[in-house]
Amino acid sequence: MRKTQNSGVTLVVSTTSFTSSKDKNTIAADLTYYGRIVDIVELDYYGHFKVVLFKCDWYEVENDAYGLTYVYFNKRCSQEEPFVLGSQVHQCFYVEDPYNQDTHYVMNTVPRDLFNMSDEVESNLPQSYENEPSEHLMGPSIPKDNGEVLLTRIDVPKTIIDVPLEEFVTQQLEVEYEEEFEDKFADEFENKYEDESENEYEDEFEDESEEEFEDDAP
């Protein structure tokens, strides 16, 4: 069995910096750091809660002419801040440049069976400082569709309406009258269509007979 390990991580932080050496006003911007995990430390606060820290090596980052991001494994940076929370980083992997062994291109990855639905986090949910255990998650179930359309809604609570008996009987009579009228109209239309078809056939037959008689006359 072939075993693989991927310890590449990426971290996005908000920081302030200067646009140039002449500009003394700082601006806030998001910076992305790329590195690899070299050690994992778990802090246990007397059994009350635990915090997982990743010790990482961070590398210098550049972009090529096509906008692709790559790092130099032989050039480290930010060595004074190697620790980050496990919940702050995202997994990535690096592809070695075939023309330069020190250059590795960054490829972002999505964990299996996980979907990036939204970046918004509910404010009332407790913040987690520990990585949740990695387990195989069931994929989304696909509902069975047999082609039938439900005439009743199941996404709203039921509402019961009291209808007087007289009104209910009146509604039933109206429904029966409408059905009887529709059936009667359909029968009349069908009979009328059949009569018109027979008359047209008889007229055509008479016309053909007269033409044959005229042709046979001396």
In order, the DSSP letters of 133-191 are: P--PPPPPPPPP--S---SS-SSS--------HHHHHHHHHHHHHHHHHHHHHHHHHHH
For all residues of the chain together, what is the average pLDDT? 74
Which two tokens mark 120?
A: 């918004």
Separation between Cα atoms, residue 90 and residue 108, nearest integer Å: 8
Of 38, 203, 3, 9, which Cα lies nearest the Cα of 111? 9
3-state helix, strand, coil in the chain (%, to 5): 25, 35, 45
pTM: 0.45
Question: Counting beta carbons within 10 angstroms of the beta carbon of residue 105, is it exposed (0 to 12), middle (13 to 18) or buried (19 or more)?
Answer: middle
More confident residue, 115 or 187: 187
Q: Report the pLDDT value the prediction gives residue 183, as an integer from 0 to 100.
A: 76
Task: Band the pLDDT of 172: cuts 50, 70, 90.
Answer: confident
Q: Report the pLDDT value the prediction gives residue 78, as an integer from 0 to 100.
A: 82
Task: Band the pLDDT of 99: cuts 50, 70, 90.
Answer: confident
Q: What is the pLDDT of residues 112-134, one digit of tens each?
A: 655 556 555 555 655 555 555 55
In the chain, DSSP finds a helix count (H) and a strand count (E) of 1, 7
Domain boundaries, the chain: 8-16+29-108, 151-218
* DSSP state letter for 101: E
Q: Report the pLDDT value the prediction gives residue 134, as an integer from 0 to 100.
A: 52
Sign of CA dihedral 17, 20, 25, 30: negative
Q: Report the pLDDT value the prediction gives residue 120, as an integer from 0 to 100.
A: 59
Top-ranked range on mean pLDDT: pick from 102-106, 181-185, 212-216: 102-106
Q: What is the pLDDT of residues 50-90, one digit of tens each?
A: 888 999 999 998 888 888 898 988 888 888 888 988 888 88
Separation between Cα atoms, residue 5 and residue 132, nearest integer Å: 19
Query: 121: left (phi > 0), else alpha (psi -120 to 50), else beta?
Result: beta
Separation between Cα atoms, residue 88 and residue 129, nearest integer Å: 9
Task: Band the pLDDT of 200: cuts 50, 70, 90.
Answer: low
Percentage above 70 pLDDT, the chain: 62
> Of 26-35, 47-56, 180-189, 192-201, where does mean pLDDT reach its minimum?
192-201
